[in-house]
């Protein structure tokens, strides 16, 4: 081999070691396969920049991606190595579907495909945005199962374990969201939200809200609130409530007039014998006015 060719190989190998850093050892140990040898890298680093500002001069090239800096133990380069335009999902952009945006300077692990030069984030330590946008439905839930007994060979496998009855779930569709919570005592609470109503149900209690009315019901007892109308006891109640202060003034006037009654007798006109009772009743009027409940 000529001296010039040997020098070129040495220079190329030196550049390769600088570019790949400590990953060089992993690439050398990688087995041969359909994709060749060492066609991908796994890099541990940190979020150096999030390209989410349309006014930034780099946004047109890197919008929706992040820059990732390698940790010193991952590279042999003396200068910091920054990977520009790392994708946040395994696609050529970060629109729609499932998206996780890590926090600035948080730890991430990225996968780099040497063939396409695309890099994707595959692990996060801290997250600022988590987005899941499905076309038909999304279900998120937790179902508690009996504990697995690893010491017992005849113990049921995970997919055969009995449920305890404790479970929660939220079911999203394009038109409604339903959240359900159940416990091992056969109790259940649900919330159903659609564009026109919200309904909360707990056993025999229910609260339903629409654009023009809120109805709260416990068994057959109902409180309904609508524009300029509140009904108690039944949603279709027709008997009006009494204004407490107006009633108190009316009773005071009535008792006052009653105390002025004069009765003709053989001895002349006299006040009723029970007139002191009228005075006693007037002192009790304020006591029937509620201190916590008011109406208008």
pLDDT digits (tens, 9 = 90+) for 183-203: 999 999 999 999 999 999 999
If asked whether residues 93 and 61 sit together in one domain, one would say yes
Task: Give me the pLDDT at residue 226, please.
Answer: 95
11 is a domain residue: yes
Task: Give me the pLDDT at residue 31, please.
Answer: 46
If asked whether residues 38 and 111 sit together in one domain, one would say yes
C-alpha 101/C-alpha 182 separation (Å) is 33
If asked whether residues 11 and 124 sit together in one domain, one would say yes
User: Which one-letter DSSP state was computed for residue 290?
Assistant: -
pLDDT digits (tens, 9 = 90+) for 212-247: 999 999 999 999 999 999 999 999 999 999 999 999
Contact yes or no for 44/107 (Cβ under 8 A): yes
Residue 42 burial (CB count, 10 A)? 13
If asked whether residues 127 and 22 sit together in one domain, one would say yes
Task: Give me the pLDDT at residue 88, please.
Answer: 87
If asked whether residues 14 and 85 sit together in one domain, one would say yes
Furthest CA-CA distance within the chain: 153
If asked whether residues 16 and 128 sit together in one domain, one would say yes
296 is a domain residue: no
Contact yes or no for 224/214 (Cβ under 8 A): yes
Query: For the chain, how many structural domains are there in total?
Result: 3
C-alpha 67/C-alpha 48 separation (Å) is 5
Which of 72, 98, 133 is the endpoint of a domain? Answer: 133
Task: Give me the pLDDT at residue 157, please.
Answer: 85
Which value, in Å, is the radius of gyration of the alpha carbons in the chain?
A: 39
229 is a domain residue: yes
Task: Give me the pLDDT at residue 249, please.
Answer: 92
Q: Count CA within 13 A, CB hemisphere, residue 140.
A: 7
Task: Give me the pLDDT at residue 284, please.
Answer: 87
Q: Residue 31, SS3? A: coil
212 is a domain residue: yes
Task: Give me the pLDDT at residue 38, please.
Answer: 53
If asked whether residues 128 and 210 sit together in one domain, one would say no
With a cut of 70, list the residues of the chain below it in pLDDT. 1-39, 73-78, 90-96, 114-116, 268
If asked whether residues 52 and 153 sit together in one domain, one would say no
If asked whether residues 18 and 61 sit together in one domain, one would say yes
238 is a domain residue: no
If asked whether residues 142 and 227 sit together in one domain, one would say yes
Domain encompassing residue 98: 3-133
Which of 133, 166, 185 is the endpoint of a domain? Answer: 133
Contact yes or no for 101/129 (Cβ under 8 A): yes
Sequence length of the chain is 296
Task: Give me the pLDDT at residue 78, please.
Answer: 63
55 is a domain residue: yes
39: nearest Cα among 27, 51, 47: 27
């Amino acid at each position: 081999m000529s001296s010039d060719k040997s020098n070129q190989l040495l220079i190329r190998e030196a550049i390769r070691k600088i570019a790949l850093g400590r990953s060089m050892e992993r690439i050398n140990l990688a087995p041969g396969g359909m994709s060749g040898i060492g066609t991908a890298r796994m890099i541990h680093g940190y979020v150096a920049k999030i390209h989410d500002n349309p006014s930034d001069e780099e946004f047109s090239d890197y919008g929706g991606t992040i820059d990732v800096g390698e940790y010193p133990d991952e590279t042999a380069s003396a200068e910091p190595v920054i990977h520009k335009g790392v994708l946040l999902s395994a696609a050529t952009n970060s629109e729609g579907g499932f998206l996780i945006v890590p926090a600035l300077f948080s730890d991430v692990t990225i996968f780099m495909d040497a063939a396409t030069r695309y890099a994707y984030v595959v692990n996060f330590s801290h997250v600022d945005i988590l987005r899941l946008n499905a076309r038909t439905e999304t279900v998120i839930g937790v179902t508690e199962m009996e504990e697995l007994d690893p010491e017992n060979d005849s113990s049921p496998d995970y997919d055969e374990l009995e449920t305890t009855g404790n479970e929660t779930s939220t079911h999203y569709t394009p038109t409604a969201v339903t959240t359900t919570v159940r416990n091992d005592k056969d109790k259940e609470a649900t919330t159903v939200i659609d564009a026109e109503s919200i309904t909360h149900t707990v056993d025999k209690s229910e609260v339903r809200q629409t654009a023009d009315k809120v109805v709260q019901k416990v068994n057959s007892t109902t409180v309904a609130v609508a524009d300029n109308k509140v009904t108690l006891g039944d949603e279709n109640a027709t008997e009006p409530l009494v204004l407490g202060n107006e009633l108190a003034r009316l009773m005071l006037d009535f008792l006052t007039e009653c105390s002025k009654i004069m009765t003709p007798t053989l001895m002349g006109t006299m006040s009723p014998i029970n007139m002191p009772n009228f005075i006693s009743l007037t002192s009790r009027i304020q006591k029937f006015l509620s201190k916590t409940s008011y109406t208008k």
